[in-house]
Structure 1
Amino acid sequence: MDKWVGKRVVVVSNRLPVVLRKNREEWVVDPGAGGLVTALSPVLRSQGGLWIGWTGCKEEIGSEKLRHILEPVSRRSGFQIIGVQLEELEIEGYYHGFSNSVLWPLFHDLETKCSFSPHFWELYLQVNHKFAKIVAENTRPEDLIWVNDYQLIPLAESFKKIGVKRQCAFFLHIPFPPPDVFMKLPWRVAIMEELQQYTFLCFQTHRDRKNFINSMKILYPSSHIEGRGMLVSLNTGIHQMKIGNLPASIDYKAFCDLSKRKKVVDRALKVRQAAGGRHLFLGVDRLDYTKGVPEKLRAFSRALEKYSTLQDKIMLLQVLVPSREGIYEYRSLREEIEELVRVVNRRFSTDIWTPITYQYTSVSQEELAALYHATDTALVTSLKDGMNLVCKEYCACHSSNGGSLILSEFAGAACQMRKGALLVNPYDVEGVADTIHYAVIMSLCERKSRMTILKNNLRKHDVYWWGEKFLLGALGDF
């Protein structure tokens, strides 16, 4: 990392690592949540620099007042935080529109959920242009601009349009779809042209990188790859760019230490006591149709039906974190999930046992650590995920080494964690039900062996490893 002495890293993402909300007349700043915040905050804190992103607010805050609000948070965070403000029309078109009604479903292989509106595309470019101007105003030519995720693909191209030179590297946190899906995007050529403006482009998995390269070869038939391994060079005949794949991770030590705090251990003990000695399964998912929560609930129900010995012997604690509540499809998904919970509980509950405990709420890091620490098996059934950091947090917090992980083979984490996890196809109700049963009857020796493999992997490939490798990749060598 010596090459970075004297340079600043500037993280740019759709959202800041904090959430602004108004409490009567006062603005309150809460810690942000989600995989991107979990992955990037420790890296930027150790490296120093800036984080630039949308405030998440519809209400206009004066620029001076916004700086005043964010200054104390910046001091506590260990890096400067700069907010971008968006108008309501921009939020609708850029965020709810192109980002989450086009790119999000398409990149998760759900093209039937896409709304290919030209108006969304125009606002997507407009907001990226706004981001570029604010980033340019707050950075120097020698800074590295680390652009994150699908909302900001055009940012490097936007710098060129306003006549600003910056070294830009890009990390895609969500999957990149296979060519037969990607080619349905009306703006496929424009998106590929914009991605080629980055000096370094990095994906979560080799699968995602391969999908990108295959799409490039269709659109640019003369494209060819040079090199091999985790860092290669793609030459299209017009552009040459470095491409890598690195699994985003967590601050392993911080989660381990958190799980050992007295408050967390005491809370975990209460969760265990409330379970009455039953095998506890844990689901922690953001409200989204890619997370496979209905599929999980159906498989859990099938396990109880198929293996009657599991009745009154297992419980599922399902935490559903609110997300995009203003969108009809997400409200409908929440209703479907809550109805499934009611159906399962009506069918199997007894006077002393309710199979599913459901919470629709945001959860603090301490509470999450307690749930990770207390439960016997994490159940992750994503239909498709860029990575999924919940499964990594679970393993880091399970200090007894006795927990087990059931993980969707369609989560990016499956590539890294297949040796210790029990992999499942979330669409296969019978298969997931059988795996739930196996997790209960698995010997302690096997559980410890699998968890040791998982923890050793995460200890070695933690968030600092990921961040250092990405920055080295931006320099041209991991």
Structure 2
Amino acid sequence: MDNPYQRLVVVSNRLPIVVSQEDGDWQIKPGSGGLVTALAPVLHEQRGLWIGWPGCSDEAPLDELFSRFSREQQYQLHGVTLTTEEVEKYYLGFSNETLWPLFHDLLGHCHFNQENWLCYGTVNRRFAEAIAEVSTKDDFIWIHDYQLALVGSHLRDLGIRQSLAFFLHIPFPSPDLLRRLPWKTELLRGLLDYDLIGFQTLRDRRNFLNSVLTMVPETEVLSRHRYYTLLRYRDRTLKVGHFPISIDFAQFDAAARSPEVTDAAWYLHEHLGGRQLVLGIDRLDYTKGIPERFLAFERALEKYPEMRKNLSLIQVVVPSRTDVAEYQQLKEELDGLAGRINGRFAEPGWMPLHYLYRSLDPVQLFAYYRTSEIALVTPLRDGMNLVAKEYCACSVERKGVLILSEFAGAADQLGKGALLVNPYDIEGTADAIFQAYSMPEEERLRRMTLLRAKVRRNNVHRWVGWFLAETHPHGEPHG
């Protein structure tokens, strides 16, 4: 990390850990996910600090567990305590029932509640106080995602004057959508208190800039560059850039080639009759477009009867927010659609849709990625969508075809090798499924070679280095 700071301080809603109790003994283990994979080496190198909510009950001996984690991982943790009411109003309420659907262009799912907004501000203030308590003026403070958008503003109120950075992992909405948020001006002004703001795509960056220039008129554009824009706000200069996040390509590629995954992939394909496999893997969420995907698959079977008995869709849905009525209704809708499709088209020895409502262990996940001829990644809106990149990294034979929503951030990077679709266009997506099914091997190899090269080059380590290199507002762009 080539900058004047001595230590990296990462701040996110959740700490990168899993705390559990086994036979009366408390255990702490590193969490999984792209952000942890990307940032842990930097934190380890600098003896850095990660601040967040532990996500466990008060009875866990956190001081002891954090000390054990620090000795093993060579970086520190600091917990921010949340009450049950705060989890309900700040996290489940404002973050996930207001900002999440609004930022994903799904206004009909939004709930606007003043108490939730006030609680959001209170919790963001508490995160800021925790940062101020344990950080020093030589630290570089990097805050992540929509749950903590106002932390920078509260840090300024607390007298913190050093450089602050923020990265939004989800999309940023158009000004027309953002106008619906009653607290839009407060949110935008809060974001303008950072020195570096990162978005996933150029579209997100433009949406933010257009919103700010429309709703915070005292903001001025100083200069525009390919990867960033310099703004002037309240006698401060800040940088707004786009930095598409990625995965550890080498890790996924190596895992997909391992003997365990090779055997599991072979067994999976043989067990399903050796026919072509279409894969969908998603968390249960209305932004992922799973009902539309099922309808497109059903239409493809209607329109192209030659695919029947020669192709199956495997849809893995990872349970999420199962106590929320809206998600329960989505689960019921998927259950009904899956039953209808199989009822219409199944024949002896062939089931068109294998619908799995559960998590996968790593070997299973890599095996599904490696063995599936087609990946169907069709969110209605997504900040990036790393499933698309993981599929490419695991397609080691280079025979897979990626069908990708044009509304996923990943489409900006992967559009030349993927088949892009509009997930609302059931007919067009059905046609893309048939195009992928009937694609010659030579074209499959060409497309997947291109996709794998793109993901390999723009890996998650490059993303971290690129972002950290931009920490000075007047620095030159990288990448």
Q: Is the TM value for this pair above 0.5?
A: yes
Residue 64 of structure 2 corresponds to residue 68 of structure 1:
yes
Q: Counterpart in 1 of 2:96? A: 100
Instruction: Decide whether aligned partners of structure 1 residues 214 and 418 sit closer, same or farther in structure 2, where only a CA change above 3 A counts.
Output: same
The amino acid that maps onto 2:2 is D
Displacement after TM superposition at 1:85 (Å): 2.2
Displacement after TM superposition at 1:110 (Å): 1.3
Structure 2: which 5+ runs fail to align? none
Q: Counterpart in 1 of 2:3? A: 3
Q: 1:135 aligns with which of 131, 144, 147?
A: 131
Q: Counterpart in 2 of 1:307? A: 304
Residue 143 of structure 2 corresponds to residue 147 of structure 1:
yes
Structure 1: which 5+ runs fail to align? none
Give me the whole-angstrom Cα distance separating, in 2, the residues matched to 1:370 and 1:295: 25
Displacement after TM superposition at 1:73 (Å): 3.6
- Helix, strand or coil for the counterpart of 1:158? helix
Q: Counterpart in 1 of 2:82? A: 86
Measured against aligned partners, the alpha-carbon deviations of 1:154-191 in whole angstroms (never above 9, x if no partner) come to: 11112123334443100000000000000111111111
The amino acid that maps onto 1:410 is F
- Helix, strand or coil for the counterpart of 2:316? strand
Tell me, yes or no, if the aligned pair for 1:35 and 1:388 is still in contact at 8 Å.
no
- Helix, strand or coil for the counterpart of 2:193? coil
Instruction: Decide whether aligned partners of structure 1 residues 32 and 345 sit closer, same or farther in structure 2, where only a CA change above 3 A counts.
Output: farther
Tell me, yes or no, if the aligned pair for 2:189 and 2:216 is still in contact at 8 Å.
no
- Helix, strand or coil for the counterpart of 2:137? coil
Q: Counterpart in 1 of 2:425? A: 428
Q: 2:156 aligns with which of 141, 153, 160?
A: 160
Give me the whole-angstrom Cα distance separating, in 1, the residues matched to 2:38 and 2:316: 21
Q: Counterpart in 2 of 1:330? A: 327
Q: Counterpart in 1 of 2:367? A: 370
Instruction: Decide whether aligned partners of structure 1 residues 152 and 202 sit closer, same or farther in structure 2, where only a CA change above 3 A counts.
Output: same
Give me the whole-angstrom Cα distance separating, in 1, the residues matched to 2:352 and 2:13: 38
Give me the whole-angstrom Cα distance separating, in 2, the residues matched to 1:316 and 1:422: 17
Match runs of 1:242-257 below 5 Å = 242-257=239-254
Give me the whole-angstrom Cα distance separating, in 2, the residues matched to 1:426 and 1:353: 26
Aligned pair count reads 474
Residue 48 of structure 2 corresponds to residue 49 of structure 1:
yes
Displacement after TM superposition at 1:227 (Å): 3.0
Q: Counterpart in 2 of 1:419? A: 416
Displacement after TM superposition at 1:119 (Å): 0.4
Instruction: Decide whether aligned partners of structure 1 residues 225 and 413 sit closer, same or farther in structure 2, where only a CA change above 3 A counts.
Output: farther
Give me the whole-angstrom Cα distance separating, in 2, the residues matched to 1:284 and 1:312: 22
Measured against aligned partners, the alpha-carbon deviations of 1:228-279 in whole angstroms (never above 9, x if no partner) come to: 1102201246542101101000011111111111111111111111122211
The amino acid that maps onto 1:49 is G
Tell me, yes or no, if the aligned pair for 1:129 and 1:155 is still in contact at 8 Å.
yes
Give me the whole-angstrom Cα distance separating, in 1, the residues matched to 2:142 and 2:59: 26
The amino acid that maps onto 2:156 is K
Q: 1:459 aligns with which of 423, 438, 456?
A: 456
Q: Counterpart in 2 of 1:353? A: 350
Q: Counterpart in 1 of 2:206? A: 210
Q: 1:191 aligns with which of 175, 187, 194?
A: 187
The amino acid that maps onto 1:52 is I
CA RMSD of aligned residues (A): 1.9
Give me the whole-angstrom Cα distance separating, in 2, the residues matched to 1:235 and 1:427: 39
Q: Counterpart in 1 of 2:446? A: 449
Instruction: Decide whether aligned partners of structure 1 residues 452 and 9 sit closer, same or farther in structure 2, where only a CA change above 3 A counts.
Output: same
Tell me, yes or no, if the aligned pair for 1:67 and 1:82 is still in contact at 8 Å.
no
- Helix, strand or coil for the counterpart of 1:363? coil
Instruction: Decide whether aligned partners of structure 1 residues 80 and 370 sit closer, same or farther in structure 2, where only a CA change above 3 A counts.
Output: farther
Q: Counterpart in 1 of 2:112? A: 116
Displacement after TM superposition at 1:32 (Å): 3.2
TM-score normalised per structure 1: 0.95
Displacement after TM superposition at 1:442 (Å): 0.3
Sequence identity of aligned pairs in percent?
A: 46
Residue 17 of structure 2 corresponds to residue 18 of structure 1:
yes
Deviates more, 1:259-268 or 1:203-212: 259-268
Measured against aligned partners, the alpha-carbon deviations of 1:44-103 in whole angstroms (never above 9, x if no partner) come to: 45665222211123x2146xx202223334444453233322110110110011101111
Tell me, yes or no, if the aligned pair for 1:42 and 1:251 is still in contact at 8 Å.
no
Q: Counterpart in 2 of 1:380? A: 377
Displacement after TM superposition at 1:24 (Å): 6.2
Deviates more, 1:355-364 or 1:455-464: 355-364
Give me the whole-angstrom Cα distance separating, in 2, the residues matched to 1:46 and 1:419: 37
Q: Counterpart in 2 of 1:395? A: 392
TM-score normalised per structure 2: 0.94
Instruction: Decide whether aligned partners of structure 1 residues 330 and 34 sit closer, same or farther in structure 2, where only a CA change above 3 A counts.
Output: farther
